[in-house]
A and B are shown apart, each in its own frame.
Chain A
């Protein structure tokens, strides 16, 4: 009975995460993007917390906490301030239209489910479903990275990928080192992205639009 409920709730959170990924994909305004990403991180931390509860794995609460604090609060705020300070304009330049992007996203979700289907029940149905969802979150994040033109949205896409990974990691029951991995990831994102790069890049270019960087690609004829 409890298993059933546990399953449904976990399923709910995972599905919700995919939904939020779609919202990220749909969003084309900078601040809206930040807020939705905060929501994304919130959902992840909730799902992790739920996993911690049903797996009786207290260390997962740490992961949940990290996700909540770092990604749902600190990073969005930081990015918000950076955007304001650097005067990056507020609308996001997309490569292809939102519509096509959404369609592609749906196709990706279908693909990830297709890939996961043949997994035998031996691995556990819960794992299977969650893996399918997290895979689609990852793919959606990747899609977001390649369909946006500016660095902030690329970082956000990357972080949504990371959320998907954490979802998967926690879904894999009793996986060691999840905490360490999530910590490592948060460090990766937080430290590198905001700390060094944006700082240096502002120092050099006054914008984080990837175009500006590409002037300096090697071997220009």
Chain B
């Protein structure tokens, strides 16, 4: 299997652990990722509301960069995924906009026909294309005994794509059940992480973050799994401030789901980017799992 890969800016900086673990896991699973040559910003959360035409053109450029050898583009960052997917849909539905975007692309010697590239989120690709059987076959360190709280955030099921239930997604839950983890079915798995509200009104953001932490804590999760750099940042980096604000004492490690998937596949923890998170995940993982076989495959 061969996919075009769009890492996005977060994975080059704050979420390097995500990028590292994605590459390690997919290598282990035998999936080839071809990073787009000269990709640019996905517009993040805000660009669309600033200038729709420019945002669409900028994002469409990435779609246009996917060469003829690939018809699927995988994005691990939920925001990148949403923007790419949304742009493809927009271009197919709005001929006027498409005309203008075509013009912009043509200026750079590019062109894009809506629908040519299927934009996939990494989780969808792993769950659907690789599938239970292939993943299970590669598990060397089952996650037995580890209580994980999958956290989906808001972007992965939009625009409605049939991959998972938009109100109550479950695919990551299922995947970690394949890996042997005790998955906590806590009720806020698709609630808001606060997003950029941390920059606008901290009390509001902290309240949203607290709800997530509290619920996961009540369900006795050992670790929260993220698939979005923004979510991971908010829950991890602001955890201390949230504790300070509310007088709570949460100490929940927040990792990317691929990091823990990598552990199950027996990849050495440092190759998966562990250690970059502020609330350290390694101790709880090692203590819950049979520490000796962690990283056994490498």
* B is bound to A: no
- Please report B residues at the A interface, Cβ cutoff 8 Å: none
- Please report A residues at the B interface, Cβ cutoff 8 Å: none
